[in-house]
Amino acid sequence: MKSVVITPRWGCVAKASILSAALAVLAACSSYPGLTSRVAAAAAQGGKVTVTVWTSASGPYPQIQAKLARDLAAKYPEITVKLDYVDWTQIQAKLLVGVAGGSAPDMVLLPTRYAPAFIEQHLVVPVDHKALSLASDADIPKLFLPGVASALDFGSKFYFLPTELTWLGMYYNKDMLDAAGIGNIPDTWEEVGQIGSKFTRIGPKGVEQAGLTIGRWGPFTAFWFLSFIRSAGQDWIKDGQPNFSNPQCVAALQVYADLYNRYRAAVASFDGQENFEASKIAFMPGLSVALVDFRKRGKLPFELGVSEYPHLATGRPANIAYAWGYFVLASSKHQEEAWKVANEFTSPENAPYWFKTGSLFVPRGQEWVSDMPRTDSQLRTLMAGLSHATMELAHPKYDDIVREINRASDDMVLHGLGAASAMAELDSRLAKILRQ
């Protein structure tokens, strides 16, 4: 079921078991207090400060960062940026070994979902407002587009500057909807279920057509779960304990299960982007970047429609976002310079280059963002969802938690377990994980 539309741009990083083992070693080691090296002092000595960055070797990152490093050298001749491109499947494990061995970089590219493993161990430091020439930490949210800060902060603290932000939207087959006489695009999940059920068709050989496909695998099941319960005003954890069995969460996730079991808008055996692209499915929730991917890959056999991500009929709009970005290591002797590099690379002036070159959305710079959707109604529709976006599930035990969420989804969708029972069992399993 993996696909361009709903696959994370550079995938997952290291498994929780590897991270847990490495973090256990680090916990026994001495701490690494941050030491700030001043650019002025280095310049006075006639030397340069070298900021080492461990970053992704995948996709457009090498091309983009090489160009930005050259530009920075011209602007800040006293700073040299050393880009080390690391396989994204190894970057976290290698980072932990580097910190323990004293060979860690000054700055590293990480995804939001795994960052708490490093934040908890004080291996990365919060954004330094002074290095960014800001008056106080209260000014950090102003670096980003209005309404985006809640998708980027960890417990009201900011630890990174984003190189890409991705959120959710709804894609639909406009030809199928037009043929069925459906002019108003549903904005609630209940309406998606009701309308989607009209498209599901089962023939002598099985399912021929469906109203909805949902990617029930990997991190995406967690995206859907969180969006449903946050629409209901809840979250997956409360006071340090799993909260899926909260009555409001149960009611919200019953709607998720109803899409399959009550409305039959979605059919588990027929899920998949390939069926959507073959004009056999009417609706598909997916990532914002999917719009660019669809356009790059060529014309679909139908007119593609885009709408905002749905919410519960009794709830509020809720979108989920994940990001990758630059974090500065606590062990770095050049933290101030590292933050300057991160800020320059992701500046409002450079944000359009990230998007133009690699379709990576850096949420900084209102002018270019305002100009971008003026002639692109689909992009404008997607960007409206940013105002409701909050951060994805991010936790040191991320992989274990997401595995259990997928299991709970299968319990409801494939095995017919009621939402109340499935969520009670999910909370029980998660409680054990959180205690470990």
- pLDDT for 365: 94
Distance CA 372, CA 380 (A): 8
Helical packing angle, 398-413 and 419-435, nearest 10°: 160
- pLDDT for 96: 86
- Judge whether 348 and 365 are in contact, CB under 8 Å: yes
Mean pLDDT across 380-400: 95
Task: With cut-offs at 50, 70 and 90, classify the pLDDT of residue 7.
Answer: very low
Percentage of residues in the chain having pLDDT higher than 70? 89
Residue, of 32 and 292, whose pLDDT is higher: 292
Half-sphere exposure of 384 (CA within 13 A, CB side): 13
- pLDDT for 104: 95
pLDDT tens per residue across span 103-153? 999 999 999 999 999 999 999 999 999 999 999 999 999 999 998 999 999
Q: Say how far residue 225 (Cα) sits from the centre of its chain.
A: 14
Mean pLDDT across 416-421: 98
Residues 6+ apart with CB under 8 A from 307: 169, 170, 172, 185, 187, 381
pLDDT tens per residue across span 332-347? 999 999 999 999 999 9
Across the chain, how many H-helices and E-strands are there?
17, 14
Number of Cβ within 10 Å of residue 416's Cβ equals 11
pLDDT tens per residue across span 184-237? 999 999 999 999 999 999 999 999 999 999 999 999 999 999 999 999 999 999
Task: With cut-offs at 50, 70 and 90, classify the pLDDT of residue 366.
Answer: confident
Tell me the average pLDDT of the chain: 90
Task: With cut-offs at 50, 70 and 90, classify the pLDDT of residue 17.
Answer: very low
Residue 322: is its pLDDT beyond 80? yes
Domains, the chain, with CATH or none: 16-166+321-391 (3.40.190.10), 168-319+394-435 (3.40.190.10)
Percentage of residues in the chain having pLDDT higher than 90? 81
The per-residue DSSP string of 194-218 comes to HHHTTT-EEETTEEEEEEE----SH
Mean pLDDT across 63-68: 97
Does this model's pTM top 0.85? My answer is yes
Distance CA 149, CA 163 (A): 14
Mean pLDDT across 318-339: 97
Task: With cut-offs at 50, 70 and 90, classify the pLDDT of residue 1.
Answer: very low
Lowest mean pLDDT: which of 189-193, 281-285, 299-303? Answer: 299-303
- pLDDT for 344: 98
pLDDT tens per residue across span 34-47? 333 444 444 444 57
- pLDDT for 90: 83
Residue 303: is its pLDDT beyond 60? yes
- pLDDT for 91: 81
**Phi-psi region at 364: left, alpha or beta (left = phi > 0; alpha = psi -120 to 50):** beta
Mean pLDDT across 83-91: 87
**Phi-psi region at 240: left, alpha or beta (left = phi > 0; alpha = psi -120 to 50):** left
Residue 14: is its pLDDT beyond 70? no
Task: With cut-offs at 50, 70 and 90, classify the pLDDT of residue 287.
Answer: very high
